[in-house]
Structure 1
Amino acid sequence: MSSRSWACPKTTAYPSREAGPPSKTATACRLVFVVGYTGAFLLHLSPPWLPASGQGAFTMWAYAVLLMLAVGGWGGELAEQGRLLTAGPLRAVAWLALGAVGAVALESVGVLASDWLAGVLPGVGAELANDANVGRAIVAFPPWAVLGVLVFAGPVVEEMFFRQFLLTAIADRTRAWVGITVSGVLFGMLHMHSWTLSEWVGIIPHACFGVAAGILFVRTRGNVLFPAALHVLNNLSAIAPSL
């Protein structure tokens, strides 16, 4: 296996690198992707003329467009990462299984912490607004759209932003564990729709999942396909029973 193999993680902050600088088209796609994702999902911005009833459709379309931009921006790296997976399928499955075990363990700790805080803090314990929005989307859109966007496109887009872009940028300038922690916490905050204490407590399990995805990303030498697959499976297990 080549020296770039994902099976033997390096100890540098971010070991995975593309062969050369991205093309102008790829750079433009990355810039629009980062700005678009930040505006639509971190800042919750939407067109001023969009009625409240159209917010769900806007979110679905935004994920689809951002997925295309991510492929346009990091297509070469994604193709190389896919090649490494197919070169060692059994190891790939083993890494994914290990990541799933770690994610379940960390999420379980997050759920316990969230439940404990909900029991001791006043006014805490309400359902996250994000989770309620997902429930409404499952009812409002056909199953194929829910599976295509909320189960596949959404998780891939989020991993491209939080792991491929954000964790990488932070780890390059600091340490891998800083990138894992910051990207994980911000991933949890993605699920907030207000600054209430209840929302802060409610996102703890999501932040724990983000940390687990970050660890998997770093341990597989920056192969974003691993946390993306983990995220897809996580959403599938949560959403499929409601379809």
Structure 2
Amino acid sequence: MPQAPGRRPGDPAPGRRFGRFTGTDALAVVLYVLLPLAAILLPLDRLAWLRANPLAGSYLLNLAVYGVVFIVAAIAARAYFARDVRILGTRPWFTLGILPLLLIAMLVVTAILVALSGGIQVSQNQESIEGLARGVPWWLTAPLLVVLGPFVEEFIFRHLMIGKLSLYVNKWFCYALSVVLFASLHLLSSDAFTLQALAPYVGLGGVLVFAYAWTGNNLAFSVSLHALKNLLSVVLLYTLDLSSLQP
């Protein structure tokens, strides 16, 4: 059977923006949920090295979890991601120009939501990231926060939860679900699950959903925007004394 013009081997079928869920998709989600639980349940605190180096141990655990899920997610989304990169490549100046504008919009939306919620409340997730910055060099945290994390989270919360789930349910429900779960899962380990702690992640998730949908469900674009935001965070973490900025 001849291929459609411009279609390459491995591309999704023509005429359909997304295929159905696959076994590899499911495996990535299962690993994303179960690996952190396994890390919590395993008696790792008995290891003398981890007790002596808690920050390094936390970093290595996160690197292992996100590294494994990243490999599976990359395999599952390789055709979609490669195609989306080619689409962005047809208008590179537009892509490079709109990314910083959306980053600014993300910061503004987040600031507004934080103000409306009653002010800043640093979540345990943010405290953990800042702790890593104090004990782990930037060239180790950057790959985790700028490469692995954005790809894994955009794959699950945008590509699967919107791109594929919208084949079965209303897309607006998918948008809302993506924002709510994305924000909530960043606070699962927090003792203070409050609107103030949730607000920054709602702002981040909302703009990422908008960017993903606005670009025609382009996974490469939402990953790039998420990575850019995290890159800014890494730069700030390693150049500013954030403890002096906390209330």
Using the size of structure 2 for normalisation, the TM-score is 0.77
- Aligned pairs for 1:78-117 within 5 A: 78-114=81-117, 116=118
Per-residue Cα deviation, 1:122-143 (whole angstroms, up to 9, x for no partner): xxx6521101110111223232
The one of the two structures with greater contact order (alpha-carbon pairs below 8 A, sep at least 6) is 1
Q: Distance in 2 between matches of 1:98 and 1:175?
A: 29
Q: How far, CA to CA, are the matches of 1:210 and 1:139 in structure 2?
A: 26
Q: Partners of 1:199 and 1:167 in 2: how far apart?
A: 26
Q: Is the 8 A contact 1:185 1:211 kept in 2?
A: no
Distance of 2:164 and 2:109 partners within structure 1: 24
Q: CA deviation at 1:204?
A: 1.0
> Structure 2 CA distance, aligned partners of 1:44 and 1:241?
32
**1:151-162 to 2 correspondence within 5 Å?**
151-162=146-157
Distance in 2 (alpha carbons) for counterparts of 1:157 and 1:130: 17
Are 1:17 and 2:11 counterparts?
no
Structure 2 counterpart of 1:60: 63
**2:44 matched residue in structure 1:** 50
Select the residue among 137, 140, 152 that pairs with 1:142: 137
1:133 corresponds to which of 122, 128, 131: 128
Structure 1 residues 103 and 241: CA distance shift in structure 2, 3 A: closer
Which of 31, 56, 77 aligns to 2:26? It is: 31
Q: Give the RMSD, CA atoms, in angstroms.
A: 2.8
- Is the radius of gyration larger for structure 1 or structure 2? 2
For structure 2, the residue ranges without an aligned partner over 5 or more in a row are 7-15, 239-247
Q: Which residue among 76, 81, 100 is the counterpart of 2:79?
A: 76
- Paired with 1:60 and 1:136, the residues of 2 have a C-alpha distance of 15
Does the 8 A contact of 2:123 with 2:190 survive in 1? no
* Identical columns (%): 22
Residue 167 of structure 2 is aligned to residue 172 of structure 1:
yes
Instruction: Give the TM-score of the pair, scaled to structure 1.
Output: 0.78
